[in-house]
Amino acid sequence: MNFLKSSVNGKIWLAALGAAVAGPLLLTIADSTVMLAGGLFLYVFFLQYQAFQKQEMQKKQIAQEKMLREISFGLFNNVLEADISENRVLGENALKLSDLLGLNKSDDYEEIIEAVVAKLVKEDFREEYKKRFSREAILALYQAGQSSFEYEFIERSDGVSYAWVQTSVCIYRSFDTGTIRIISHVKNIQQKKEKEFAILQKAQRDPLTNLYNKVVTKEFIDEFLLSMEGRGMHAVYLIDIDNFKFINDHFGHAFGDAVLSRVAEKLNRSFRASDIVGRIGGDEFLVLAKNVEDRAIVLRKAEETCKSMHNLLKGISGSASVAISIGICIVPDDGTVFDEVYIKADAALYAAKKKGKNTFVLYENL
């Protein structure tokens, strides 16, 4: 009896022990299963969310491209869309541009760019235009993370007269094909450029005579002499109005200003448009005559310039007259930069003044 009771108690004890051990174990397995299932659900949800976000982004970008095309074609006549990867110009404008260029409805991007350069772009800008709009350059910009660029140049947009224009280019990857494409439009900026040039000219010019001021004269002469074109023979004329103080004192500063303006006009007409003519002091002018053939021509031009001033005030004053003295030096014999030639020409001018004024002296004859 005691044995039986003991046996039953042992079984109960063992059962209780088993439940105590197995219970938490079963709960742990259940929790792990729930956690694993939850993790898988979250992972799948994350992937679906990412796909949804990507799809939404693509929809937005496609809509944006469509809007860009609609706006561009609405605002600008000269719009170009091209697939750079496939070397094709796209859309109706491809045919219009091809017909304008005489290419018989070609959509070949490189062929169209070559024709644009040859027939529409002004010669000074052709090489740069070809570089900027080459397929290699555009693909390189895209690879570098650049999505747009602008270029200003001169072309005959109407096929007849030249004008300043600005091309704005957008570079993007097509979601449909995966290829690199561009959308560009051209707008006329002639008026803007004319205003910019007017402001620049005002900064460069002497307000009284409209000749280059001293700073710009020096800068232009140094730039020219350092260039390949500046390697020839050139003449520097330093010109001073004789007795200008007397003119100012006896006839007034307004009359003196009129004399300066007349001398400036005469110098502009006496020298070529390619020469550099500037006012570098009160009554002092400097001219760089480019690419002269020999010294005889240089001296003859100085003599003609002196004589041209004799009747300068005819119709303005019966008692006042104008004469000038000129100092001359030769590039490269007497110098190759502005500061060198100015010192030599100034020494020659001083000699002309001492000689009796109304004459000219060549530096090498000192």
Q: Rounded to an integer, what distance in angstroms lies between the CA atom of residue 328 and that of residue 334?
A: 10
3-state helix, strand, coil in the chain (%, to 5): 55, 20, 25
Asked whether 306 and 323 are in contact (CB, 8 A), the reply is yes
Across 75-85, average pLDDT: 77
- Sign (positive or negative) of CA dihedral 181, 186, 187, 191: positive
Q: Which residue has the higher pLDDT, 219 or 71?
A: 219
Contact 186, 169 (CB under 8 A): no
Residues 334-359: tens digit of each pLDDT: 999 999 999 999 999 999 999 999 99
The mean per-residue pLDDT over the stretch 8-17 comes to: 46
How many CB atoms lie under 10 A from the CB of residue 242?
A: 20
Please tell me the distance from the alpha carbon of residue 95 to that of residue 105, in angstroms, as a whole number.
5
For residue 15, pLDDT beyond 50: no
**Band of pLDDT at residue 32, cut at 50, 70 and 90:** low
* Mean of pLDDT over the chain: 83
What are the strands, taking DSSP E only, across the chain?
Answer: 79-83, 88-90, 148-155, 163-173, 180-188, 234-241, 276-279, 284-289, 324-331, 360-362
Average pLDDT over residues 153-171: 87
Kindly list the distances between the CA atom of residue 227 and the CA atoms of 190, 196, 222, 328, in Å, as whole numbers in the listed order: 29, 26, 9, 22
Rounded average pLDDT over 29-40: 57
Q: Which domains does the chain have, with CATH numbers?
A: 66-194 (3.30.450.20), 205-365 (3.30.70.270)
Residue 208's pLDDT band, with cuts at 50, 70 and 90, is very high
Neighbours of 131 (CB within 10 A): 10
Percentage of residues in the chain with pLDDT exceeding 90?
59
